[in-house]
Structure 1
Amino acid sequence: MIGTDWALWREFRFKTPLNRENTLLQIRWENFNALNHAPLGEPNTVTDSALAGQITGLLGTFLKANAVTMRRMEFTLRLQF
């Protein structure tokens, strides 16, 4: 199972009148399951079955923790002082 996650961010450092130390503003864009691939399950290996060799399910659907979700994006604005 291949998952492609990536993030782009930009940081701006500046000083404010109230805070003489460095202040950091970070703008961040994160993308989870960027290619939006479905996690295909194993093919049916029963040769007598009408579904022999066909993939009829997805990986990780029996445990919610392992299930791959659809593409998700997050936009974040963070101010650190």
Structure 2
Amino acid sequence: MEALTVWAFEVFAADGLVRIDLLHEGDDDASCRVAEKSGYAFAEVVPAFPPSYPLDGHRHCRKRLDTTERHRPE
């Protein structure tokens, strides 16, 4: 996930990409753990929107600055 995040920010920076959001159903604990371990902070609970989205969801986000800070040479 890290490689894809870095790639997206590098490739689409000129188009104005400054944040990537990850969305998943609120009862999907595994997706929540993966998002957080990948540097995508929990941002909010997204209300259900039936019938397509019958359950509340979670939105995690990561800003471009988060990526550049993680890849600074030591």
TM-score (norm 1): 0.25
Decide which structure has greater strand share: 1
TM-score (norm 2): 0.26
Decide which structure has greater helix share: 2
